[in-house]
Amino acid sequence: MARKKKEKKKKTGRSWKITLLLFFLMILISGAILLTLDGRHVQFRLVGGQEITVPFGVDYVDPGRSAVTVGRILGPGSLVLPVETSGYVNTRVKGTYELEYSARFLFDTYTAKRIVHVEDITPPVITLQHQEGYEPSWFTGGYQEEGYLAWDDCDGNLTDYVQVEVLEDRIEYRVSDSAGNETVAERELTAVKQPELTLLGDTYMSVDASLTFEDPGFTARDGKGRDISPLVTVEGEVIPYRPGAYELVYSLTNGIETLSVTRTVEVKAVEIPDAVLPGEKTIYLTFDDGPGPYTKQLLDLLAIYGVKATFFVTAEHPEYEDLIGRAYREGHTIGVHTTSHDFYKIYASEEAYMEDFYAMEEIIHSQTGEYTRLFRFAGGSSNTVSQFNPGIMTRLIALTGDLGYQYYDWNVDSDDAGGTKTSTGVVTNVTAGCAERHVSLVLMHDTKDYSVQAVEQIIIWGQQNGYTFRALNLSSPSSHHVIKN
């Protein structure tokens, strides 16, 4: 009985195993049938598509891929399968590359491919350079290029191929690479203000002829208000002692553009007052070539007698120049003779003469505080030494007349610069010459001691014979010699 129970129990266990095996077998068969009917396979999902283009020179990064199973009946599965990638993309070399993706499902391996095109699709880069502290200036013609660079990852340095176009308010820089990619950069331009050039005084001036002309001047400022007057050039010249119309042109230039303003200066001749003949017999004592070592003695003597005289002065004895001031303060007339008394220097040209003349006027002004309008030509207007420059005396007479200067020759010559070397001879020559005239202009030299010693006797003789001694002025009668040049 026990044996039968044991065999029955064993038979029952074997039956369950068979049943369970049959159940799993049915499940497997059913699954296989289902899979066959479902057609389940691997499906790849490629982000970006099966064919993509990537830029040259940029490291390749796969945009993404995944693999899942999918069937007709059961649809897509939820399990993401591992995906392996084979192939390589070299973005440093343009071309077409193939990548293969693979995934396993059940007993099969599934694959997908992606085509990658490496192309130059990146435009060049233009870098605009800036110089520290630079600011555009009108004097450099406005903005001056600070520089630029152009670089392309594929073609390299493209700086030499940049096209630059200067527009009103900006500069455009344009460059293309070999693939046709174009880049445009812009530099903003700030308008550069022109300098301001302004004349001081009037644009038209009318001045009397004189030895000097003082330009009223000008102001010049750049676009930021800074003084740029030293950069102004002045063209033209005013010859102040020669009547006429002159133009002075004041200019600023940057080599491309020039700003200029013009001043017109009209130099007009100065009128000389008409001569007035004195009613009484008159002697004008005039002394040339001083002051010198005997001038003080002469001034002392003239002061004693209350006689006024005329001194046509030079700078030959600068140690005595202070006597010019003394003579002026004591009521004597000061006139220009010459600074150097060098005939060949002063009569070389009008300009040379006026330079010498002006130098003497400055000395007179320094001693008296005033300029004179009286003068005597070195050698007199009739001198022949100047004939090495034909016509110079005629031209100088006209020129100095336009300046309003009156020149004085003489009609009585003491001959103290000639053959007469004694005071007695000087007295004789002067008194004899004056006795024949109502008005006498006497030539003497205060650089001659014997001539100075003769003055007292001449004064006494003149006073005894009804003569008045006067100093010259612009209204005094002048004695002009016959011009020989």
Q: In this structure, are residues 307 and 463 in contact, taking their beta carbons and an 8 Å threshold?
A: no
How many C-beta atoms lie closer than 10 Å to residue 250's C-beta? 22
Average pLDDT over residues 1-16: 63
Tokens of 227: 């003084």
pLDDT band of 12, cuts 50, 70, 90: low
Residue 34: pLDDT above 90?
no
Is-catalytic flag, 202?
A: no
What is the predicted pLDDT for the residue at 3? 61
Domain boundaries in the chain?
Answer: 41-119, 125-188, 196-268, 282-469
Distance CA 354, CA 338 (A): 10
Record the tokens describing residue 454, joined without a space: 């003769």
Segment 218-223 shows an average pLDDT of 92
Render pLDDT for 359-387 as a digit per residue (tens, 0 to 9). Answer: 999 999 999 999 999 999 999 999 999 99
Give the integer Cα–Cα distance in Å for 426 and 451: 6
Whether 341 is catalytic is no
In this prediction, residue 256 carries a pLDDT of 86
CATH superfamily label, 282-469: Glycoside hydrolase/deacetylase (3.20.20.370)
The rounded distance, in Å, linking the Cα atoms of 475 and 469 is 15
Give the CA distances from residue 425 to residues 33, 318, 454, in Å, rounded to whole numbers and listed in that order.
Answer: 168, 29, 9
- pLDDT tens-place string over residues 266-309: 999 998 888 899 989 999 999 999 999 999 999 999 999 999 99
DSSP string, 237-272: ---TTS-EEEEEEEEEE-SS-EEEEEEEEEEEPPPP
User: What mean pLDDT value characterizes the chain?
Assistant: 92
Residue 7 has a pLDDT of: 62
User: Which of 179, 45, 140 has its CA nearest to residue 101?
Assistant: 45
Which region among 34-43, 193-202, 427-436 has the lowest average model confidence (pLDDT)? 34-43
Strands (E), 134-210: 148-152, 156-157, 163-166, 170-176, 182-188, 196-199, 204-208
pLDDT digits (tens, 9 = 90+) for 425-484: 999 999 999 999 999 999 999 999 999 999 999 999 999 999 999 999 999 998 999 999
CB 63 within 8 A of CB 52: yes
Q: Is 396 in contact with 377 (CB distance < 8 Å)?
A: yes
Average pLDDT over residues 341-350: 96
Q: Do domains 196-268 and 282-469 have the same CATH topology?
A: no
Segment among 5-14, 111-120, 427-436, 455-464 with least mean pLDDT: 5-14
Structural domain 41-119, CATH architecture? Sandwich (2.60)
Out of 152, 288, 356, 413, the active site residue is 288
- Estimate the crossing angle of helix 423-435 against helix 449-464, to 10 degrees: 40
**Identity of residue 236:** G
**CA-based nearest residue to 70, from 41, 44, 45:** 41
Rounded (10°) CA dihedral 238, 240, 242, 246: 30
Q: What percent of the chain has pLDDT above 90?
A: 79
CATH of 125-188, one of 2.60.40, 3.40.50, 3.30.70, 1.20.120: 2.60.40
Contact 175, 163 (CB under 8 A): yes
Kindly tell me if the per-residue pLDDT of 421 is higher than 90.
Answer: yes
One CATH from 3.30.70.260, 3.90.550.10, 3.65.10.10, 2.60.40.10 for 196-268:
2.60.40.10
pLDDT at residue 330, as a whole number: 98
Strands 310-314 and 333-338: parallel
Mean pLDDT calculated for residue range 186-207: 93
**Which tokens sit at 70?**
């999918």
* pLDDT of amino acid 405: 94
What are 90-109's pLDDT values in tens digits?
Answer: 999 999 999 999 999 988 99
Cross-strand partners of 336: 313, 375
User: Of 152, 177, 413, 445, which is the active-site residue?
Assistant: 445
